[in-house]
Amino acid sequence: MTATRVLVLNSGSSSVKYQLLDMRDSSRLANGLVERIGEQSSRLKHTPLATGGESRERTGPIADHDAALKAVAEELAKDGLGLDSPELAAIGHRVVHGGKHFTQPTVIDGAVLAEIERLIPVAPLHNPANLTGIRTATALRPDLPQVAVFDTAFHTTMPEAAARYAIDVETADAHRVRRYGFHGTSHAYVSRATAKLLGKAPEEVNVIVLHLGNGASASAVEKGRCVDTSMGLTPLEGLVMGTRSGDTDPAVIFHLARVGEMSIDEIDTLLNKKSGLVGLCGDNDMREIRRRIDEGDERAKLAFDIYIHRLKKYIGAYYAVLGHVDAVAFTAGVGENAAPVREAAMAGLGSLGLAVDDGLNAVRGDEPRLISPAGARVAVAVVPTDEELEIATQTYALVKR
């Protein structure tokens, strides 16, 4: 029997998201989520997509990632999709930080594990959880290829001029301070899907990808290769996000420490968790922000305006970086669903060839679609991202025989 299934695991510090796919036709067999791992109120939600069955939920303590993955394996086994199946070809792991070293998806061995571990200082929140997921899955199926797919890999093609900060080179290199970029799996998938929508090969087009979710990042993709992206050493840099500030003057940190008497950890929490849309208006959900704006809420309006202003600055910057732009693609929760964000981001950019057609922009859908007027110089598109499919595709390409 040919093994054609891939299990995709996205392990966070207290959660595991998973999806099982059959790579013969990229169909989804099951997906689910374990959250609040380590608490009394852990929850597992499992949806058996292959059989079209109802979602099942379990609540009650799940002590650690090991217990979580075992619970997932039990749920999959109930649907005849157990992890012991000979049809399972590999497990693909989302790994947030691959540094400069990992430019491609990689079959995990001891050396790869050690390198992911070495990167913990630049990804203290993410890489430890990713490592736990890998170790747990390996213990469950030691015979199976485990593949790491890195969020940073797509951005390793950035030229030094884009990747380096203008700080002392020796200090930067000693501490591996440079721009790595994140959401790479999404930027890779969406830039390729955008080329396909235009009927072109990825090597034939230049695309600005706007991944606007709770985390948000932009990238400039030239002929299929990333040449700049808005996130940096960590996901804090760049666009205004749900809870992250994005760009600020770095001296804000010195000022808050010296004058505000805040500790480094307090400032870290402020900028990563209490800033962005939530810091500006108390809400990070774009639906709620739009509802408040419709009711005349000034704070919500200001938060929206700051969000759009920053977005426009990046669109302009990447237009200049690329020189010629074939398409701007909106993706992720906000990008795919919030027509007012797309409209506001493109407003006034007609001289760059950018515009949206109001009728097309209002249409909802799950498929990639154009929202620019017929005959527009630059295509504007909504392209739903699919990071799980991209991880599964990259994983399978490495292991299939």
Is 334 a binder of ligand AMP (CB under 6 A)? yes
Write down the least CB distance from residue 173 to ligand AMP, Å.
Answer: 33
Q: Consult the annotation and say whether 337 binds a ligand.
A: yes
Write down the least CB distance from residue 338 to ligand AMP, Å.
Answer: 4
**Smaller CB separation from ligand AMP, 175 or 273:** 273
Residues of this chain, 191-230, that bind ligand AMP according to CB under 6 A? 213-214
Write down the least CB distance from residue 213 to ligand AMP, Å.
Answer: 2
> Tokens representing 335?
């990008």
Is 337 a binder of ligand AMP (CB under 6 A)? yes
How far apart, in whole angstroms, are the C-alpha atoms of residue 105 and residue 147? 7
Is 268 a binder of ligand AMP (CB under 6 A)? no
Q: Which residues pair with 303 in a beta bridge?
A: none
> Tokens representing 393?
């595709």
**Smaller CB separation from ligand AMP, 188 or 338:** 338
**Smaller CB separation from ligand AMP, 286 or 370:** 286
Stretch that binds ligand AMP, among 25-33, 174-182, 328-336, 350-358 (CB under 6 A): 328-336
**Smaller CB separation from ligand AMP, 217 or 372:** 217
Residues 6 and 13: beta-carbon distance below 8 Å: no
Stretch that binds ligand AMP, among 3-11, 154-162, 175-183, 279-287 (CB under 6 A): 279-287
Is 285 a binder of ligand AMP (CB under 6 A)? yes
Is 272 a binder of ligand AMP (CB under 6 A)? no
> Tokens representing 29?
């067999």
88 φ/ψ angles, rounded to the nearest 5 degrees: -80, 120
Is 273 a binder of ligand AMP (CB under 6 A)? no
| 151, 283, 326, 386: the active-site residue | 151
**Smaller CB separation from ligand AMP, 17 or 28:** 17
Q: Which residues pair with 382 in a beta bridge?
A: 330, 369
**What does the buried/exposed string (b/e) look like for 42-58 if buried means 16 or more CB atoms within 10 Å of the residue's CB?**
bbbebbbbeeeeeeeee
Which H or E run contains 208?
Answer: strand 206-212
Is 11 a binder of ligand AMP (CB under 6 A)? no
Three-state secondary structure call for residue 90? strand
Stretch that binds ligand AMP, among 40-48, 231-239, 281-289, 345-353 (CB under 6 A): 281-289
How far apart, in whole angstroms, are the C-alpha atoms of residue 133 and residue 367? 31
Closest listed residue to residue 250, CA positions, set 163, 169, 177, 157: 177
How far apart, in whole angstroms, are the C-alpha atoms of residue 361 and residue 62? 43
Write down the least CB distance from residue 242 to ligand AMP, Å.
Answer: 5
> Tokens representing 265?
């950890």
Write down the least CB distance from residue 400 to ligand AMP, Å.
Answer: 29
- Residue facing ligand AMP at closest CB distance: 333
Q: Consult the annotation and say whether 10 binds a ligand.
A: yes
Q: Consult the annotation and say whether 130 binds a ligand.
A: no
Closest listed residue to residue 162, CA positions, set 102, 206, 227, 221: 227
151 is catalytic: yes
Stretch that binds ligand AMP, among 20-28, 81-89, 120-128, 280-288 (CB under 6 A): 280-288
How far apart, in whole angstroms, are the C-alpha atoms of residue 138 and residue 145? 9
Write down the least CB distance from residue 183 to ligand AMP, Å.
Answer: 10
Q: Consult the annotation and say whether 286 binds a ligand.
A: yes
Q: Consult the annotation and say whether 214 binds a ligand.
A: yes
DSSP type of residue 213: S
Going by their DSSP bridges, the two strands 5-11 and 16-22 should be labelled as antiparallel
Is 333 a binder of ligand AMP (CB under 6 A)? yes
Residue 198: how many other CB atoms lie within 10 Å: 17
**What does the buried/exposed string (b/e) look like for 280-306 if buried means 16 or more CB atoms within 10 Å of the residue's CB?**
bbebbebeebbebbeeebeebeebbeb
> Tokens representing 269?
């929490």
How far apart, in whole angstroms, are the C-alpha atoms of residue 227 and residue 44? 39
Is 284 a binder of ligand AMP (CB under 6 A)? yes
User: What residue numbers does the annotated binding site cover?
Assistant: 10, 17, 94, 211-215, 285-287, 333-337, 387
Tell me which residues touch ligand AMP (CB under 6 A).
213-214, 242, 284-287, 332-334, 337-338
Return the active site residues. Answer: 151
Binding-site residues for ATP, in ranges, read 17, 211-215, 285-287, 333-337
